């Protein structure tokens, strides 16, 4: 069965589900089977392990409900931990080149020790972290007896805990691969029949990654560097060199075609391009796989290569060649390194089969899973609607905070209809932002759905807002949100991650401006969804509007994070006060007290903020 529990900020949902998990485990007499809690953020996992569960344990001990403290284990995927072997290899490789001097200095400053090293302790860009973390092909590694991660895995098999805390990706990897006694690293999670999925609005995205495959253009390059001197004695140098050359050519041919197909993506959600998996692409992948096989036949076996991810890439290629009803897309990271990705088109069906239609009981919780009316869209997208109705329970718990007193809502009635290509529209957005930011004295996050509009409006406003620290968030600027949190009265021009899951309690964030209602932008994925409906009107009603409302709720939810927070929500979209969906937007925002002018905003802030706020 599945229980969907929407709990807004301030409701104490973490303690609520911990108590429920404890009671269920005891009532059902699950013995050694722990309650599993899976989240999407490292911060929440840390809070559960170091604060919430110890607090629950103290209360239960104080009332003599338990005789010994509750136990909890934090389980993270291997990609979060250092592989000393890969690290040493990469360090030697880049030490030869001056252009990597900053990376070398960062590594030296980290002062990495032997044993288990958690890479989450360090601020590393994803591509760098991927170079030195534990990878999938370490099973036969000769360094295992000395490996901190291997020892950690062995320890987990001997432990029995009341709770195990992990992330969505690792839980899904466990679901996908269990049981696999031949590779205990895949079984780092213990079996569990009671599972709590916090931050559940992000679970579907994690499932698309977990049940899909991907590999990037640098995997083959890394492999070639590792094997170029591993020629078998029986193979001529010329033959081996030609095989290596054919492999590099095959890799270049594939990713050159993919790079040509990559479209300039203006979406706030990331730089992705959905592509058609045609016969030409099939042939390129097949040629790449054949070229890898040829080199594998001609090279000497060497343990130094076991930590490389070429086997993972080959598995991904084999899946793409075999599966027909899958989506394929291209992703580019902050360094413009391309990855070819694929996942089942019917991800909801896959989730139902692998997750919900089992003997496991699930509690799903988040502050935003409904569209403000019901959970129909959420259940449909995640495949939960395929369960019998009696196996699905839902509940909504509203925030106890005093929004009427502590917040204001501003929806100006003089904004043009949204048109990202219009200079007049962008200028109107910029002018209104300047007014609002000056009325609130900064402390503002402006949420966009388009990177080009974000950049354009930033350029139009930066001179007028020069009294404030301006932070412009881009795909490559990973520190923008952290910099904003450290600032005093900054203005953050943001997209992507800032729409959800970012916690900025206190006066640092006192104003959230929604530049445009977050309707899903036109994309290949949306066109694919639209094809399932008999009319555009039905698609808009059942998909576009619910998705927009949920995303809007997530965006405005960044403002009030505790009971003393005060601030403003502003929506600069004409469709928020007129048109077919204005009523739904205003209904979602009804708990905010509405004002009519920037002068009203200025007066409210003078009433609720201290003098120090304006310094």
More confident position, 302 or 334: 302
Average pLDDT over residues 497-506: 79
526: pLDDT strictly greater than 80? no
Q: What pLDDT score does 309 carry?
A: 66
Q: Where are the beta strands (DSSP E) in 398-494?
A: 407-410, 444-447, 470-472, 491-494
Contact call for residues 39 and 425 (beta carbons, < 8 A): no
Q: Rounded distance, CA 42 to CA 169, Å?
A: 12
Q: Over the stretch 393-409, which tens digit does the pLDDT of each residue have?
A: 999 999 999 999 999 99
Q: Which of 422-431, 471-480, 606-615 has the lowest mean pLDDT?
A: 471-480
Contact call for residues 87 and 120 (beta carbons, < 8 A): no
Q: Cite the DSSP H helix spans in 262-396.
A: 279-298, 310-322, 347-351, 376-382
Comparing C-alpha atoms, which of 284, 247, 272 is closest to residue 339? 272
For residue 199, CA distances in Å to 40, 114, 361, 370, 482 come to 6, 34, 17, 13, 20
546: pLDDT strictly greater than 80? yes
Beta strand 511-514 pairing with 444-447: parallel
**Most confident range, picked from 11-20, 108-117, 133-142, 496-505:** 11-20
Average pLDDT over residues 53-58: 97
Comparing C-alpha atoms, which of 431, 461, 426 is closest to residue 598? 431
Average pLDDT over residues 115-125: 81
Name 593's bridge partners.
408
Count Cβ atoms below 10 Å from residue 189 Cβ, excluding itself. Answer: 21
Average pLDDT, the chain: 88
Percent of the chain with pLDDT over 70: 92
Comparing C-alpha atoms, which of 558, 323, 337, 582 is closest to residue 446? 558
Average pLDDT over residues 598-606: 96
Q: What pLDDT score does 478 carry?
A: 64
Residue whose tokens read 């050159």: 256
Task: Classify 130 as helix, strand or coil.
Answer: helix
Average pLDDT over residues 327-355: 87
Residue whose tokens read 């284990």: 73
Average pLDDT over residues 207-217: 88
Largest CA distance in the chain: 84
Q: Which of 185-189, 530-534, 554-558, 586-590 has the lowest mean pLDDT?
A: 185-189
How remote is the C-alpha of 471 from its chain's centroid?
A: 22
545, burial (CB in 10 Å: exposed 0-12, middle 13-18, buried 19+): buried
Q: At CA 398, angle to CA 378 and CA 168, rounded to 5? A: 45
* pTM for the whole structure: 0.84
Count Cβ atoms below 10 Å from residue 255 Cβ, excluding itself. Answer: 22
pLDDT band for 184, please (50, 70, 90 cuts): very low
Q: At CA 364, angle to CA 7 and CA 135, rounded to 5? A: 125
pLDDT band for 183, please (50, 70, 90 cuts): very low
Q: Over the stretch 258-288, which tens digit does the pLDDT of each residue have?
A: 998 886 554 544 446 778 899 999 999 999 9
Q: Rounded distance, CA 263 to CA 191, Å?
A: 43
Q: Rounded distance, CA 387 to CA 5, Å?
A: 17
Average pLDDT over residues 521-531: 71
Q: What pLDDT score does 130 carry?
A: 76
138: pLDDT strictly greater than 80? no
Q: What pLDDT score does 323 carry?
A: 87
Name 39's bridge partners.
167
Q: Which of 179-183, 325-329, 455-459, 558-562 has the lowest mean pLDDT?
A: 179-183
Q: What pLDDT score does 413 carry?
A: 93
Comparing C-alpha atoms, which of 391, 499, 403, 396 is closest to residue 454? 499
Q: What pLDDT score does 305 carry?
A: 65
Which of 152-155's residues contact partners 24+ apart within 8 Å by CB, and which partners?
152/81, 152/116, 153/184, 153/185, 153/188, 154/184
157: pLDDT strictly greater than 70? no
For residue 192, CA distances in Å to 198, 288, 358 come to 16, 40, 12
Q: Cite the DSSP H helix spans in 76-195.
A: 84-94, 101-110, 126-132, 148-158, 168-177
Q: What pLDDT score does 382 carry?
A: 96
Q: Rounded distance, CA 11 to CA 325, Å?
A: 42
Average pLDDT over residues 485-508: 85
Average pLDDT over residues 21-41: 89
For residue 349, CA distances in Å to 27, 320, 381 come to 32, 19, 9
Q: Which of 110-124, 220-234, 535-549 has the lowest mean pLDDT?
A: 110-124
pLDDT band for 79, please (50, 70, 90 cuts): confident
Average pLDDT over residues 45-66: 95
Q: Which two tokens stand for residue 609?
A: 């903020």
Task: Classify 269 as helix, strand or coil.
Answer: coil
Q: Rounded distance, CA 296 to CA 11, Å?
A: 57
Average pLDDT over residues 186-191: 76
């Amino acid at each position: 069965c599945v229980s969907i529990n929407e709990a807004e900020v301030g409701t104490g949902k973490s303690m609520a589900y911990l108590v429920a998990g404890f009671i269920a485990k005891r009532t059902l007499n699950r013995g050694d089977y722990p309650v599993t809690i899976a989240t999407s953020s490292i911060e929440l996992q840390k809070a559960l392990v170091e604060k919430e569960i110890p607090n629950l344990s103290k209360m239960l001990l104080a009332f003599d409900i338990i005789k010994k403290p509750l136990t909890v284990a934090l389980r993270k995927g291997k990609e979060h931990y250092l592989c000393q072997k890969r690290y040493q290899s990469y360090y030697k490789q880049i030490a030869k080149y001056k252009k990597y001097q900053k990376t070398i200095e960062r590594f030296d400053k980290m002062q990495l020790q032997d044993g288990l090293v958690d890479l989450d302790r360090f601020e590393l860009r994803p591509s760098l972290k991927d170079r030195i973390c534990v990878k999938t092909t370490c099973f036969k590694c000769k360094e295992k007896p000395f490996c901190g991660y291997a020892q950690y895995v062995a320890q987990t098999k001997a432990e029995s805990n009341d709770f195990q805390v992990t992330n969505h990706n690792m839980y899904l990897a466990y679901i996908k691969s269990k049981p696999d006694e031949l590779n205990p690293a895949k079984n780092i999670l213990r079996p569990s029949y009671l599972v709590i999925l916090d931050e559940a609005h992000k679970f579907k995205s994690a499932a698309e990654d977990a049940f899909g495959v991907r590999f990037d253009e640098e995997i083959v390059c890394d492999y070639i560097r590792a094997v170029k001197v591993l020629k078998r004695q029986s193979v001529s140098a010329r033959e081996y060199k030609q095989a290596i050359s054919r492999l590099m050519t095959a890799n270049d041919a594939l990713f050159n075609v993919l790079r040509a197909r990559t479209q300039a993506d203006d979406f706030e959600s990331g730089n992705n391009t959905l592509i058609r998996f045609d016969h030409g692409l099939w042939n390129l992948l097949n040629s790449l796989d054949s070229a890898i096989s040829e080199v594998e036949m001609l090279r000497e076996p060497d343990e130094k290569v076991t930590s490389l991810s070429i086997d993972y890439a080959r598995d991904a290629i084999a899946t793409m060649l075999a599966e027909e009803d899958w989506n394929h897309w291209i992703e580019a990271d902050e360094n413009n390194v391309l990855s070819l990705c694929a996942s089942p088109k019917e991800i909801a069906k896959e989730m139902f089969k692998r997750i919900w239609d089992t003997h496991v009981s699930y509690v799903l919780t988040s502050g935003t899973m409904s569209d403000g009316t019901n959970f129909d869209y959420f259940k449909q997208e995640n495949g939960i609607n395929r369960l019998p109705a009696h196996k699905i329970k839902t509940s909504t718990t509203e925030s106890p905070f005093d929004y009427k007193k502590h917040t204001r809502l501003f929806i100006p009635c003089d904004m043009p209809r949204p048109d990202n290509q219009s200079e007049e529209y962008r200028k109107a957005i910029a002018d209104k932002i300047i007014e609002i930011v000056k009325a609130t004295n900064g402390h503002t996050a402006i949420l966009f759905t388009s990177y080009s509009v974000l950049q354009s409006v930033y350029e139009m406003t930066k001179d007028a807002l020069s009294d404030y620290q301006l932070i412009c968030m881009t795909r490559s600027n990973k520190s923008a949100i952290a910099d904003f949190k450290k600032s005093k009265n900054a203005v953050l021009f943001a997209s992507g991650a800032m729409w959800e899951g970012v916690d900025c309690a206190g006066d640092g964030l006192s104003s959230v401006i929604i530049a445009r209602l977050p309707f899903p932008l036109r994309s290949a994925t949306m066109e694919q969804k639209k094809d399932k409906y008999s009319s555009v009107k039905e698609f808009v009603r059942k998909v576009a509007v619910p998705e927009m409302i949920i995303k809007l709720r997530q965006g405005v939810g960044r403002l009030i994070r505790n009971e003393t927070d005060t601030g403003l929500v502003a929506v600069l979209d004409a469709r928020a006060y007129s048109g077919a969906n204005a009523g739904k937007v205003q209904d979602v925002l009804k708990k905010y007290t509405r004002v009519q002018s920037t002068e009203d905003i200025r007066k409210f802030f003078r009433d609720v903020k201290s003098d120090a706020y304006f310094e």
